[in-house]
Amino acid sequence: MDKIDLKQLNIDELTEFLISLGEPKFRAKQIFEWIHQKLVTNFSDMKNIPKSLIEKLETKAYLNNIKVYDKLVSKEDGTIKFLWELQDGNIIESVLMSYEYGNAVCISTQVGCKMACSFCASAIGGFIRNLSASEMLSEVYEMQKYSDKRISNIVLMGSGEPLDNYENVKKFLSLVNSPSGLNIGLRHITLSTCGLIDKIYELADENLQITLAISLHAPNDEMRNKIMPVSFKNPMDKLLEACRYYTKKTSRRITFEYALIDGINDTKEIALMLSEKLKNMLCHVNLIPVNDVKERNFKKSSKQNIQEFAKTLEKSGISVTVRRKLGSDINASCGQLRKHALENKERRE
Ligand code: SAH
């Protein structure tokens, strides 16, 4: 019989499991807190659990832990990029960022990615598999143990498409938000998607208070199709309609991410087209100077173009920020570090 992945059970499921072992219900909360609040990674560290139960847990269940494969610390701003080795040997990455108000983490939701956006390094090696809820929790928990401050914010913006791993991401959100766990508020969690329309409707109907970020990167389908293949099946007008529905259901403001690529999507005319599309929406635009991906020959826009693009949107009444770049000296953007590590691993093997 397969062992049970205990880290991804909620309190009810854990209670049921303990009853099936002939154990009292109250043990569920104790074990849950050991895993999700005290962040232990071994059953034997659960101090108030009797040895007999620990032995049962060891035969019937396991903790889906991850271990550090590599770690890079930015000299510029202290951002830390972690590469993790999963139990099956796959490698994923996450980032720990330090802010005045607390720390934020960016986590991966899949090993690799199917979406194949042309400016993104995550998809270069293709899609391998979804991450389980317990693996995503492990990313957060390991960084929390490493962090000097409480982790107060999470962004699902590492490798992978979170809405393509919907059930596991939903389970992750409920566990990381649990009052008996790290209790991270849903309003402090951002889910970033390339725009899977059906799933946006499904998510809206869950009425969670998370922030939805949409990777838009273009003002129309013609341009979006060229850089984001997902756009063929998820055209922009329908996508924006789904975003309006999300806001209607949740009252949450949508964030649109827009990576500025030199000579591709960064002119004033394009900024005007974008303002036209987004006017009257409860939204915020986050401009990201694209991280150069040498395999794709994409370069970031000039400072002047970035400022002008931002100004044009602002003049149309759209709220805009230019993303502060953290960890640029450590390849801290999507998929870049993992890709380098895999290349090095291959070279070593
Ligand atoms: N699949 C999800 C989440 C992961 S990507 C999504 O598409 O939103 C997180 C964000 O980083 C997305 O906005 C993505 O478009 C952006 N991104 C990917 N590669 C980038 C690059 N080279 N420079 C800047 N942003 C990039």
Distance, CA of 119 to chain centre: 18
Give residue 333's pLDDT: 58
CA 152 to CA 144: how far, in whole Å? 10
DSSP 50-100: -HHHHHHHHHHEE----EEEEEEE-TTT--EEEEEE-TTS-EEEEEEEEET
Give residue 268's pLDDT: 96
Quote the ligand 1 centre to 215 CA distance (angstroms). 7
CA 182 to CA 189: how far, in whole Å? 13
Q: Is the CB of 215 under 6 A from ligand 1?
A: yes
Q: What is the pTM assigned to this prediction?
A: 0.94
Give residue 102's pLDDT: 85
Counting residues of the chain whose pLDDT is more than 70, the rounded percentage is 93
Give residue 78's pLDDT: 84
Q: Does residue 347 have a pLDDT over 90?
A: no
Q: Are 150 and 39 contacting, i.e. CB atoms less than 8 angstroms apart?
A: no
Neighbours of 59 (CB within 10 A): 10
Give residue 326's pLDDT: 64
Could you tell me which residue, 332 or 257, shows the higher pLDDT?
257
Q: Are 24 and 18 contacting, i.e. CB atoms less than 8 angstroms apart?
A: yes
Neighbours of 67 (CB within 10 A): 11
Quote the ligand 1 centre to 222 CA distance (angstroms). 19
Confidence of residue 325 (pLDDT cuts 50, 70, 90): low
Residue owning the nearest CA to atom 1 of ligand 1: 161
Confidence of residue 339 (pLDDT cuts 50, 70, 90): low
Could you tell me which residue, 169 or 343, shows the higher pLDDT?
169
Enter the tokens of residue 50: 């009797």
Give residue 76's pLDDT: 84
Closest by Cα among 22, 88, 83, 26 to 56: 22
Q: Does residue 77 have a pLDDT over 90?
A: no
Q: Is the CB of 163 under 6 A from ligand 1?
A: no
CA 210 to CA 164: how far, in whole Å? 17
Question: Could you list the active site residues?
Answer: 93, 334
Residue owning the nearest CA to atom 22 of ligand 1: 291
Per-residue pLDDT of 164-177, as tens digits, reads: 999 999 999 999 99
- Top mutation candidate among 114, 215, 328 for ligand 1, by most atoms within 8 Å of CB: 215
CA 300 to CA 294: how far, in whole Å? 11
Distances (CA, A) of 225 to 7, 159, 179: 39, 21, 42
CA 216 to CA 94: how far, in whole Å? 22
Give residue 148's pLDDT: 85
The whole-chain average pLDDT of the chain stands at 93
Angle, vertex CA 85, rays to CA 328 and CA 346, nearest 5: 80
Quote the ligand 1 centre to 21 CA distance (angstroms). 44
Q: Is the CB of 334 under 6 A from ligand 1?
A: yes
Q: Does residue 337 have a pLDDT over 80?
A: no
- 135's CB contacts (< 8 A; 6+ apart) are 64, 66, 86, 92
| Residues 276-292, mean pLDDT to the nearest whole number | 94
Quote the ligand 1 centre to 73 CA distance (angstroms). 21
Enter the tokens of residue 306: 């970035």
Residue owning the nearest CA to atom 19 of ligand 1: 120
| Residues 256-275, mean pLDDT to the nearest whole number | 96
